[in-house]
Structure 1
Amino acid sequence: MSRISYIDNLSEWKEGFEFFFPVKVRFSETDMFGHLNNTVPFTYYEEARTEFFKSKGFMQEWVKPDFEAIPVVADLQCDYLKQVFYDERINIHVKVNHIGTSSVDLHYMGRKEDGTICFVGRGTIVQISRVSGKSVPWTEEMKNMLVNKDKVKVKG
């Protein structure tokens, strides 16, 4: 696990997740060998991230046409650890790792039903203005909504 720079200790890291979103690998998401296509975890991350933000109370505001701030993905990465095949069920776990002024670094973990970790990832989401395209700082209330116990580093 030393090749994954954002995970210091896998045992501790995987225990920090509380939220997950279940997915089932569809036939259309596999290649001719029945393996999950390497682009699909990013779609799973999007689905899980959306549900995670809904659970925190964010999506409800962001989708309103008159709400100025919207979330955008600034970067996203995935590290593949085990093969995934058609028809397998995977839980996509999401947690906040770090909250910046207007950004949030999220971590992801894909786990099979037997508990095997098949892929992990991380990505930065930035809240920006629909009008200006410039970053919009989190309010204290928003930061509190994002915080997962005391496991999250908050800037400022």
Structure 2
Amino acid sequence: MLSETFKVRFCETDGLAHVSNTVIVAWFETAREDIFRIFTPTLSLDNWPLILASYQVDFHQQLFYGSPVEVRTYVSRMGNSSFDTYQEVWQNGQKCASGTTTLVHFDYEANKAAPITAQQREALSQHLKETA
């Protein structure tokens, strides 16, 4: 598991006095940076090898300004060329949101999915979510 703590910014709140639902997706993306480094250690955009195929978010509790949040990131599935990350947002000891993102290892020159290498698979497996 990877963990990152964010300070909730005032600008991330909405007219209902809670964190806007659009912010969660951005937090999830930022918290995947260590996963991105497995494929692009320098995070250079010149030859970015991942594409986002889909994401889904579930909201469990409201999030509020004034308390930090923790985003927990796991790898929940690995295929030949794609994998899923499962992420949770926690605030004040409560799971407030969760979501799954599917990423594809992509070769832009060939314009098709590329297999995940053994080295990348090993690095991803360090963050596998244990199932009950």
- Provide structure 1 residue ranges, at least 5 long, that are not aligned to the other structure: 1-17
In the alignment, does 2:116 pair up with 1:138? yes
Tell me, in whole angstroms, the C-alpha distance in 1 between the residues paired with 2:4 and 2:32: 9
Query: Considering only aligned residues, what root-mean-square deviation do their CA atoms show, in Å?
Result: 2.2
Q: Give percent identity, aligned residues only.
A: 28
Tell me, in whole angstroms, the C-alpha distance in 2 between the residues paired with 1:84 and 1:150: 26
Aligned amino acid, residue 61 of structure 2:
K
- Provide structure 2 residue ranges, at least 5 long, that are not aligned to the other structure: none
- Superposition deviation, residue 32 in structure 1: 1.3
- The residue that corresponds to 1:63 in the other structure is 44
Contact 2:76–2:86 at 8 Å: present in 1 too?
yes
Aligned amino acid, residue 121 of structure 1:
G
Higher relative contact order (CA 8 A, sep 6+): 2
> CA 1:33/1:116 → structure 2, altered by over 3 Å: closer, same or farther?
same
- Relative to total residues, which structure has the larger strand share, 1 or 2? 2
- The residue that corresponds to 2:89 in the other structure is 110
Aligned amino acid, residue 15 of structure 2:
M
Aligned length: 131
- The residue that corresponds to 1:88 in the other structure is 67
Tell me, in whole angstroms, the C-alpha distance in 2 between the residues paired with 1:150 and 1:75: 19
TM-score, structure 2 normalization: 0.87
Secondary structure of 2:96 counterpart: strand
> CA 1:74/1:64 → structure 2, altered by over 3 Å: closer, same or farther?
closer
